[in-house]
Amino acid sequence: MSFGWTRHAADGAARAGTLHTAHGDIATPVFMPVGTAGTVKAMTADAVRSTGAGLVLGNTYHLMLRPGADRVAALGGLHRFMDWPGPILTDSGGFQVMSLAGLRKMDEDGVTFRSHLDGTSHRLTPEISTAIQDQLDATITMAFDECTPFPATEPEVRKSMELSMRWAARSRAAFRPRTGYGQFGIVQGGVHPELRARSVDALKPLGFEGYAIGGLAVGEGQAAMFATLGSTVPLLPPGQPRYLMGVGTPDDLVGSVLRGVDMFDCVMPTRAGRTARAYTSGGVLNMRNARHSDDGAPLDPGCPCPGCTRHSRAYLHHLFRAGEILGPMLLTWHNLTYYQSLMRGMRAAILDGGLAEHAASIRAAWRASAGPVEDVLLPDQERA
């Protein structure tokens, strides 16, 4: 099966499609759970599958340091290591390395950095990152780029974007083509439409199998992010998948799908699940809040996850109060189920040509939620 994306329907800018890979087909729009260190935190692989997830993300930075890419390769690759025969996308390590302020030194060729685990010195370049992702057996390899800091001046953003475009060309040259595998280039340029356009122009001739939009959700706010998507997405080739990296809240996903994005990843549903925050069709709940302590109702009545079908809000509340591991387990499971159901619902609406109405109805349900203000956050309040 050769790597590619088929468009089944469009509804305004939004698209419903299927991503074809060596490790199976994936319906888009798609949300990828984050499996940083070879595990989606607090979830077995079977549990992740039961949420409807088909594509997961692995982090090159974490995996190269521990257990090491050589070791993963010797053990049969990341799919076998983490029991995920389905497709896996790996990031390039660039984002994590850039956030190691003081522990890294960048030059034209790449980045030298010290491990946050043991202080040992390591190096990432476009060639090394691409080779590591190959060792991990990533279905989708990401180009190595610099994640531009925010805020930054326009000249700083330009310089960073131009470096990333030179690295994109080197990443592409280093990529070993295999049937059913692909590599995505990453559009940079901050919140500057003309820099984003130049970045797209630089990437297109390289022939990537898909395009990511990087450098967003780093503090610019949802309005600036949506504006950037509005100007950038239409420049991308219509027949290839578009991936918005590191995004986001449920409301971010709705707004970005409406603007033509096909793929997402974010730690939010998993991290929130470990800290008692529940994403539901009625908004965001803090399960530590005492008002749940006697509530025999399910967290989200329509949700098929075991936390909702087998247990009460009172039980989930109890688990977090008691510090029981099952609290993070069940709430992560719920949040990922909610995210998958959100994506499935949007895909069905696109196929029916009714995404705008569907999005309005999802948002109305969030806003109609009856909880007290301190407990219920509308999803788009979180980024403030």
Interacting residues with a second copy (CB under 8 A): 37-39, 41-46, 66-67, 71, 74-76, 81-83, 274, 293-294, 296, 306, 310-312, 314-315, 318-319, 321-322, 324-326, 328-330
Q: How far apart are CA 210 and CA 187, in angstroms?
A: 11
Q: Which of 91, 134, 252, 380 is catalytic?
A: 91
Q: Of the two residues 306 and 371, which places its CB atom closer to a second copy in the complex?
A: 306
Q: Could you confirm whether 265 is annotated as catalytic?
A: yes
Q: How far apart are CA 39 and CA 48, in angstroms?
A: 10
Return the beta strands (E) in 250-346 as ranges. Answer: 263-265, 277-280, 283-286
Q: Of the two residues 248 and 273, which places its CB atom closer to a second copy in the complex?
A: 273
Q: Of the two residues 158 and 313, which places its CB atom closer to a second copy in the complex?
A: 313
Strand partners, 283: 280
Structure tokens at 33: 């759970």
Return the beta strands (E) in the chain as ranges. Answer: 4-11, 14-21, 24-28, 30-32, 56-58, 88-90, 104-106, 111-114, 121-124, 140-142, 182-187, 210-213, 242-244, 263-265, 277-280, 283-286
Q: Exposed, middle or buried by CB within 10 Å (0-12, 13-18, 19+), for 169? A: middle
Question: Which residue, chain included where needed, has tokens 């949420």?
Answer: 51
Q: How far is CA 33 from CA 203, 231, 332, 337, in A?
A: 26, 27, 10, 10
> At closest approach, how far in Å is the CB of 83 from a second copy?
4
> At closest approach, how far in Å is the CB of 317 from a second copy?
8
Q: How far apart are CA 352 and CA 10, in angstroms?
A: 10
> At closest approach, how far in Å is the CB of 307 from a second copy?
9
Q: Of the two residues 39 and 369, which places its CB atom closer to a second copy in the complex?
A: 39
What is 104-161 written as a DSSP string?
A: EEE-SS-EEEE-TTT--EEEE-HHHHHHHHHHHT-SEEEPP-----SS--HHHHHHHH
Q: Of the two residues 86 and 210, which places its CB atom closer to a second copy in the complex?
A: 86
Q: Could you confirm whether 70 is annotated as catalytic?
A: no
Q: Of the two residues 3 and 81, which places its CB atom closer to a second copy in the complex?
A: 81
Q: Which of 11, 252, 265, 300 is catalytic?
A: 265
Q: Which residues are annotated as catalytic?
A: 91, 265
